[in-house]
Structure 1
Amino acid sequence: MDRSTQPRTIKQYKAMYEKGTVNFDHVMQRSYGHWDIKQQSKWIHSLAINWPVPQIMARPMKETVTINGKEQLMNVYYMLEGKQRSLSTFYFLDDEYKLSPKTKPAKIDGIEYEMADKSFSELDEEVQEAILSYSLSIMSVDATDEEVEELFFRWNSGSPLNKTQQGRAIMGTDWAIRFDELSNHPFIKEKSSFSATELKRATHEEAFKQTMLVLDTNDDASSFSAPSLLDYTERFKEDSENKLAIFQHFLPVFDYLDVAFDKKEKVLFKKIHFPASFIAGKYALDNDIHPEEFYDWAQQFKHDFNKPESATIKTKYKDFMGQGSTHKAKVFGRISEMTRHLESYFTNKKFVNTDLIEILKKRKVRNT
């Protein structure tokens, strides 16, 4: 298999497409339309600010092309990789869609130009020129049909990033470091309900974000689903002071829970229960409830919601599980029911908590 790489500006590349020497109909290519407006806008913005982008790959094949009424034998480049990027660019240049209202300004030569909610013709000339003059790297692959099939298999056999993993790039390095600190806490690694596979897929980070969203009075998101959490991640930088204040609650509560549970808690800290159980732990810590007493309550709560016929304290917690469990009403319903159960359990109880601070110190945990 031979390969070579040639640079082409966006303007030159579109001219090839219009001339008929670029073709996106290779049988192995998926259909156009898999990108939403946010993905298209991110791509166009990358071109405008001259950021590095992945190369485009094509298989050249000799075909007869009619140009200016004359038939010519030329290389037609059948695109193997880059269809969504290419057509998103061409359609934008033809004013077939506007960029997302959330598109950031393009900074060119130290000057910022607005791009949000604009078509190509509505952009400033400087931005138009930056896009048209962007130099793409196009790799030509001289390969057999069998080799092309093998290429597609290899390109698509990797594990794609899920929404939570994508969020790391969006939240930035500082927040990724903070989430690593939470992920590496002994409570998460040794006591929480997340399996090894879930930890690899960053399922626990999705639970962290759901919990942050519960505590976040600056945000009114109606869903706690993965796509909604990805949108929430985008707001970390613009609301950093508030988000950091929310983050400060996590480590002290994790420290408390690490003391309360001496082994893996297989139920309450699964993803679906995590926000409610975290809020319960925070309530206990804030009210000086002894970790051992909190553990005893946790066992009672599990019994009461799993076996309502013999429950000591009746709870409707299960009514807020099942289908649509990431909807705001169900998330807050679970939190409300778990907190109500916790408060009922500890009503009129007397505690001897003078040794709580010493327990935390001995375990080398935080007391802040």
Structure 2
Amino acid sequence: MKRSSIQRTTKSLLNMRDRIRFDLPFQRNSVWKNDRRSYLVDSVIRDRYIPNILVWNNGDGYIWVIDGRQRWESVFFFADGEYKLSNGTADFNGESIAGKRYNELFSDTQFEFLTYNFTVTEFSECTFEEVEEMFYRVNQSVPLTSTEKTRVKVSPAIRETVQELAQHMFLEKIAFTKADRNRYVDEQLIWQFIASASNQNIDFSGSSLNKFISNLEEVPTPVTKLIEQKVDFMDVAFRNWDQAKRKVLKKVHVGSLFQVVDYAIQHDWSEDHFGAWTESFLIDRYSVDTAYGQLCQKGATSRAFIEKRISLMIADMEQFPLQTEWPMS
């Protein structure tokens, strides 16, 4: 087996697109939703790191993608104008790119998109069996948490719903550590959203949440739509927060924010208004010595403490000044 790595720009990939094949038998279908694809394109435009694409050269003139189908398809579909950048996408070089298709971007932004360098690692002089083994090695599972162990007992349809919700672009804004992601804390947060949107009066601790998951027969469509509506709202509210501000978007706060979004929507708050209040509450005025701060230090998953945190947030929102327009977050 031989291995080599080369750099290919987005433009060069588009030019050689008819040679790129995504249909190796072990490949998944196109499963990413548009908000996930949007986040990938946003990374391309901003020249952020994207993992290597693995391909197989078996000598037939085609480029067989081993790992990276969703990434390259996201780029190709965006160039085709098949979807817009998410409404939660932050501005780029003074341009508001949220909600835009490729052909609506400024020429300078299009240039950044077309000149991004993907690192492509090519394997040759190897058998299909070796390529298949490589795919499964790259995509091997991370050890499961207790919630994940419970999760495998639910139906495939429920697992798919949770995974799709966990791919929402907003979750990329949350201050998860690498260890959090290895322990599927992002997916665990989605389970909390489902329990909350289902009006479950339970603790969000492992045992209570796991019992709820184990007894779940389906995630009703209205629950899924409610979660998407609230997560979309938060995504737009924090679209222009920089990395420093996003550090406050920790699991304990996001779980509570998810619930008080109801107040904002019911009282016709705009996303920018909600973003301004969150910045005021969690950044400008937050302290571990405040009543809310004290509640965050202990019993984070206890239903009683969750209700107290939400009550304090709502009381603060009721006093937050209204104004016609809020500056972008």
TM-score, normalisation: structure 1 = 0.49
**Is the partner of 1:97 in helix, strand or coil?**
coil
Q: What per-residue deviation string (whole Å, max 9, x for no partner) do you get for residues 156-175 of structure 1?
A: 223399849x977523489x
Counterpart of 2:173?
170
User: How has the CA–CA distance of structure 1 residues 10 and 243 changed in structure 2, closer, same or farther, with 3 Å as cutoff?
Assistant: same
Letter in 2 for 1:45: D
Counterpart of 1:54?
51
Counterpart of 2:129?
146
**Is the partner of 1:131 in helix, strand or coil?**
helix
Counterpart of 1:136?
118
Counterpart of 1:228?
none
Structure 2 contact 35–86 (Cα < 8 Å) conserved: yes
Identity of aligned residues (%): 22
Q: For structure 2, which runs of at least 5 residues remain unmatched after alignment?
A: 149-162, 180-202, 211-249, 313-329
Write the distance in 2 (CA, Å) between the matches of 1:6 and 1:167: 32
Write the distance in 1 (CA, Å) between the matches of 2:286 and 2:260: 7
Structure 1 contact 103–116 (Cα < 8 Å) conserved: yes
- C-alpha deviation, 1:86, in angstroms: 0.8
- C-alpha deviation, 1:275, in angstroms: 3.3
Matched, 1:249 2:291: yes
**Is the partner of 1:171 in helix, strand or coil?**
coil
Write the distance in 1 (CA, Å) between the matches of 2:45 and 2:73: 16
Instruction: Identify the structure with bigger relative contact order (alpha carbons < 8 Å, sequence gap 6+).
Output: 2
Structure 2 contact 53–119 (Cα < 8 Å) conserved: yes
Structure 2 contact 174–251 (Cα < 8 Å) conserved: no
Counterpart of 2:325?
none
- C-alpha deviation, 1:79, in angstroms: 0.3
Q: What per-residue deviation string (whole Å, max 9, x for no partner) do you get for residues 24-76 of structure 1?
A: 111111111x111211111111111111111111001222xxxxxxxxxxx31
**Is the partner of 1:137 in helix, strand or coil?**
strand
Q: Could you tell me which of 278, 303, 322 is aligned with 1:239?
A: 278
Counterpart of 1:89?
75
Write the distance in 2 (CA, Å) between the matches of 1:219 and 1:55: 41
Q: Could you tell me which of 243, 251, 255 is aligned with 1:210?
A: 255
Q: What per-residue deviation string (whole Å, max 9, x for no partner) do you get for residues 237-273 of structure 1?
A: 9832223457743453477x78xxxxxxxxxx8x5xx
Matched, 1:22 2:17: no
Letter in 2 for 1:91: F
Q: Could you tell me which of 15, 27, 34 is aligned with 1:37?
A: 34
Write the distance in 1 (CA, Å) between the matches of 2:265 and 2:295: 24
Q: What per-residue deviation string (whole Å, max 9, x for no partner) do you get for residues 74-109 of structure 1?
A: x311001111111111121122222222222223xx
Write the distance in 2 (CA, Å) between the matches of 1:50 and 1:238: 31
Write the distance in 2 (CA, Å) between the matches of 1:238 and 1:23: 48
Counterpart of 2:107?
125
- C-alpha deviation, 1:276, in angstroms: 3.8
Letter in 2 for 1:52: Y
Letter in 1 for 2:255: Q
TM-score, normalisation: structure 2 = 0.55
Letter in 2 for 1:22: I
Structure 2 contact 81–102 (Cα < 8 Å) conserved: yes
Write the distance in 2 (CA, Å) between the matches of 1:282 and 1:130: 42
User: How has the CA–CA distance of structure 1 residues 146 and 3 changed in structure 2, closer, same or farther, with 3 Å as cutoff?
Assistant: same
Structure 1 contact 45–106 (Cα < 8 Å) conserved: no
Aligned length, in residue pairs: 221
Structure 1 contact 213–219 (Cα < 8 Å) conserved: no
Write the distance in 1 (CA, Å) between the matches of 2:259 and 2:42: 32
Greater C-alpha Rg: 1
Q: What per-residue deviation string (whole Å, max 9, x for no partner) do you get for residues 168-214 of structure 1?
A: 7523489x9xxxxxxxxxxxxxxx98459x89xxxxx7566434544
Q: Could you tell me which of 55, 72, 87 is aligned with 1:101?
A: 87
Q: Could you tell me which of 95, 109, 112 is aligned with 1:113?
A: 95
Counterpart mapping for 1:154-193 below 5 A: 154-159=137-142, 163=166, 170-172=173-175
Q: What per-residue deviation string (whole Å, max 9, x for no partner) do you get for residues 90-136 of structure 1?
A: 121122222222222223xxxx2221111111111001111111111
Q: Could you tell me which of 45, 61, 66 is aligned with 1:80?
A: 66
Structure 1 contact 115–123 (Cα < 8 Å) conserved: yes
Structure 1 contact 22–77 (Cα < 8 Å) conserved: yes
Letter in 2 for 1:140: E
Write the distance in 1 (CA, Å) between the matches of 2:251 and 2:78: 34
Write the distance in 1 (CA, Å) between the matches of 2:282 and 2:258: 9
Write the distance in 2 (CA, Å) between the matches of 1:14 and 1:100: 22
Letter in 1 for 2:91: P
Write the distance in 2 (CA, Å) between the matches of 1:153 and 1:239: 42
Indicate the structure with greater strand content.
Answer: 1
Structure 1 contact 59–140 (Cα < 8 Å) conserved: yes
